[in-house]
Structure 1
Amino acid sequence: MTHQVSLESELALFMGEYERANNSHDIERVVPFIAEDATYWFTDGSYQGIDEIRSAIERTFAKILDETYEFRELEWPVLTADIAVCRYRFAWTGVVDGEARSGQGRGTNVLVRRDGGWRLLHEHLSS
């Protein structure tokens, strides 16, 4: 197995764990994936630092009940031992204001290796 393939497998595993953490709707499971100095860009705004990002994710958990979130078609245009960029498509289903809803879009994440593990430094979602 080449080093690139090994890195891609390691990062795909990380993204799968991040997806499962989000689907748990438990912010305490999600936060460890995010760097303290991260920036997230969502449709409803931009969030800087773990406290703002935590609040934004908690609002989403409260608004979209029974949400299932899924990453699809992961691509790695940048892949090094300490920095990676992931492009993907995402889809979600859930209940909003008592009605079944769904959506999809595109995402880009910048991941950095810190303290021996991967962390999300940036996430940009657009629908």
Structure 2
Amino acid sequence: MSDLADELTAALRRYEQATNSHDIDRVVPLIAEDATYWFSDGSHHGLDEIAGAIKRTFDAIRDEEYEIRDLEWVVLADDHAVCRYRFFWTGAVDGRPRSGAGRGTNVLVKRDGAWKMLHEHLSS
């Protein structure tokens, strides 16, 4: 893997770890202010809407463990990148064990020296 791919993979793993912390204050700094996220429950534009959608997920799925697998970088450039992957989650919804899986695509941009999510599309 190239140094750039290693750097981007590390950024995506930080995002995965922040998500697994269930602390929205750890996730928000990793997202671009003008980002757009497409989830199965709808589209969310801008940092405030996205943070609200993620927080609702944290509230709905207790003890969630989120994992990214089969990561592929399909575009690598000095200031932007695109990846696709499979995701898996387990947790409790309404007190009952639940799990799911799907596909993800992310667009990352480098801003002020840091990689941030500009777009995320998750589908199951």
Unaligned runs of 5+ residues in structure 2 are none
3-state SS in 2 of match to 1:81: coil
CA distance in 2 between counterparts of 1:24 and 1:77 reads: 28
CA distance in structure 1 between the partners assigned to 2:108 and 2:12 by the alignment: 10
Cα offset, 1:52, TM superposition = 0.1
The alignment partner of 2:121 has SS state of strand
Provide the TM-score with structure 1 as the length reference: 0.96
Residue 24 (structure 1) shift: 0.3
AA aligned to 1:50 is L
Cα offset for 1:61?
A: 0.2
Structure 1: segments with no counterpart, 5+ residues: none
What RMSD, in angstroms, separates the aligned Cα atoms of the two structures?
Answer: 0.7
Aligned pairs for 1:20-59 (under 5 A) are 20-59=17-56
The answer to whether structure 1 residue 91 and structure 2 residue 88 are counterparts is yes
In percent, how many aligned pairs have the same letter? 67
Q: What amino acid sits opposite 1:10 in the alignment?
A: E
Aligned counterparts of 1:26 and 1:117: Cα–Cα separation in 2: 20
Aligned length: 124
Runs of 4 or more consecutive aligned structure 1 residues displaced over 4 Å after TM superposition:
none
TM-score computed with the length of structure 2 as normaliser: 0.99
